[in-house]
A and B are shown apart, each in its own frame.
Chain A
């Protein structure tokens, strides 16, 4: 690196070579070929670095060309028309997708006639009687064994009163009585805490249905008035069936899936 300005001084005083411009022009023209030769001949890591730099420049050049080619006139069908049109007063609001009436009433009637329901859990593990009940020994010498205590979650209606303790065979402890269930809507994927109206069917047998025992797979009827569903005839739907999906005696709560 020159220390000082003697080079510039001499250029200023004596001028440049007579063929300086031509030589400069021709050297610049040869640069391109030199660059290409270097890129082809260099091996190893240096070659890779050169190739990477070249590629980046090529991509940038392509981008600028595409930008210049874009015309200023707007083309038709530029803004795509989206689905789900809403009126102006709903445009700035995020609306949570709400539950519609999803099943046809005719289909429902047909299903009810056939007695078959499309349930999310068609098969459940059968619960044996000794798992369901615990034998309670009573009497002065604790020899009588005719009483049973239910070990699973139960539902008793709001107007429930126990039979006189001397005569009741099945004890349903208050700790295992539930009134509400966490019901998930299968399409909306949102869960509501809804009141239970009754136990429709327990897959383990009609005795358990009549007792109101809720195990995994049993069908319960829940109060859906807060969902705001309306039938095509204009009536408000307030009760729907749901199937229990967990073991309530282990979790302490009833999780169910709404049957639509």
Chain B
């Protein structure tokens, strides 16, 4: 804007106005359609939205016009896309996480200790403890402060395939190749109770009951190759058998509404109710094994009452209340969404409480899909496949967003950072890669493992990443 100081005549720059309608992610408008000048950008839009919603603290938002993020002033966007200014322009405002996680860049520790390949690593829901299960039949707890081993727990007779923390952080359950499950107390490293025997073949997945349904955490469900899933009660030592699948059950998830989803090699997903173990619904559609399931509220169910503030609660009722609030805030009014990845190279997005048929079919991968994961805010779905790519899809509609290429071997597991801005992937080519969702590019390459990486996990407080693989060492990465 040039101002001719000599003549003191202001040259007016013509700023056009455009009619905009700000909506929230569910589609409800935040206010009436209004005229906004064309030279405003995302920062000014944030101020407007904060004022409209009367937020006390300035919350960050991301803006999307027809599924494309708005990063430049409106003017540039309108010119590029030649949008008509006759109609009101709908702008979707997506709330972003208040905290920002730093991307990890270096390996802070390589801890050896396991005698065989590390098969699974998991951080506790508050992010303070780390556990790993390995092919040498032990479960080990690691001290994050000194980055050294803390407890070595023996008791399994064969490889420890899956481990899972209870959402209140009080127990860790591990399942082995011989079909037994053992419950450990992370504070002492000792077994609590006897081994739970019942499955006839190896355990493929474990999932705890969410805290907001029942606190303290007592029940969990385990899936096995023998085709049934069992709901175990740790204190009563009872189990309910969910049988119905004809082939191995590959993954199991306990939903936030009190149902259990199981995906199996017989190409179906079954929905069960938890008090008696009856089958509610069967979701058919896949043409080959269902490899992995993910729920839109999964991250909240996993972390329970803990969040980025790191507050600890003393009583179980308090934890249950806080967890319920967090769950309600996460879910909103929309029904719970489920995504399933399969060997037939496609994924399906389901809304199990609405319809028996899938909502969207997500194709694009050229090899089987090994792991699917919703982002913690439920906005994105990430899928890791054996075709060496990681694809990002829209979390509500299932539309394809972008593909991350860079790995030279099949991608085995993925993990989101707690603010949903970064994605971590571990692959057979022994590297981990951190991808940025906003710029849709590779953020950081993390080489260092000597052999395949089998399992990765990002701690819920965002400070550390743990990875374990065939080279028998556990690596901790920090920002």
Chain A residues proximal to chain B, CB less than 8 Å: 77-79, 81, 83-89, 91-92, 98, 100, 225, 228-236
Contacts and interface: CB of A to CB of B under 8 A. Distances in A.
A91 B455 contact: no
A234 B447 contact: yes
A24 B336 CA distance: 85
B262 interface: no
B202 A79 contact: no
B158 A81 contact: yes
A232 B202 contact: no
A74 B214 CA distance: 37
B162 A88 contact: yes
A249 to B, nearest CB: 35
Interface string B424-448: 0000111100000000000001111
Contact of A89 (B135, B177, B370, B446): B370
Contact of A86 (B119, B158, B250, B292): B119
A84 B178 CA distance: 16
Most buried by B among A81, A83, A84: A81
Sort chain B's interface into a size bin: 35 or more
A154 B253 CA distance: 60
B340 interface: no
Contacts of A233: 447
Contact of B117 (A85, A91, A230): A85
Contacts of B370: 89
Nearest to A230: B429
Given A87-B120, A231-B447, A234-B445, 5 more contacts: A81-B135, A81-B137, A86-B119, A92-B248, A228-B409
B137 A232 contact: no
Given A79-B178, A92-B248, A98-B428, A234 B448 contact: yes
B203 A87 contact: no
B416 interface: no
B431 A85 contact: no
Contacts of B327: none
A88 B203 contact: yes
B207 interface: no
A157 B453 CA distance: 38
Given A81-B137, A228-B409, A86 B447 contact: no
A85 B451 CA distance: 13
B205 interface: yes
A81 B159 contact: yes
Contacts of A78: 157
Contacts of B178: 79
B411 to A, nearest CB: 12
Nearest to A225: B408
A83, A88, A234: most-surrounded residue (chain B CB, <10 A): A88
A225 B429 CA distance: 12
A232 to B, nearest CB: 7
Interface in B301-350: none
B431 A234 contact: yes
Contacts of B292: 89
A232 B205 contact: no
A230 B445 CA distance: 12
A87 B408 contact: no
A79 B119 contact: no
B161 A88 contact: yes
A39 to B, nearest CB: 49
B202 A87 contact: no
B117 A89 contact: no
Contacts of B448: 232, 234
Contacts of B205: 88
Interface in B143-191: 157-159, 161-162, 177-178
A230 B430 contact: yes
B134 A85 contact: yes
A225 B265 CA distance: 33
Contact of A230 (B157, B159, B431): B431
A257 B265 CA distance: 40
B291 interface: yes
B454 A230 contact: no
Contacts of B266: none
Contacts of A81: 135-137, 157-159
B417 interface: no
A236 B202 CA distance: 36
Given A228-B409, A228-B429, A234-B445, A88 B158 contact: no
The 6 closest A-B pairs by CB, nearest first: A85-B135, A234-B447, A228-B408, A85-B117, A88-B161, A87-B119
Contact of B116 (A85, A91, A235): A85
B202 A91 contact: yes
B450 interface: yes
B412 interface: yes
A89 B162 CA distance: 10
B459 interface: no
Greatest chain B CB density within 10 A among A98, A230, A231, A235 is at: A230
Interface in B110-135: 116-117, 119-120, 134-135
18 contacts: A78-B157, A81-B136, A81-B137, A86-B135, A87-B161, A87-B412, A87-B455, A88-B119, A89-B412, A91-B177, A100-B451, A228-B409, A230-B408, A230-B447, A231-B447, A233-B447, A234-B447, A235-B447
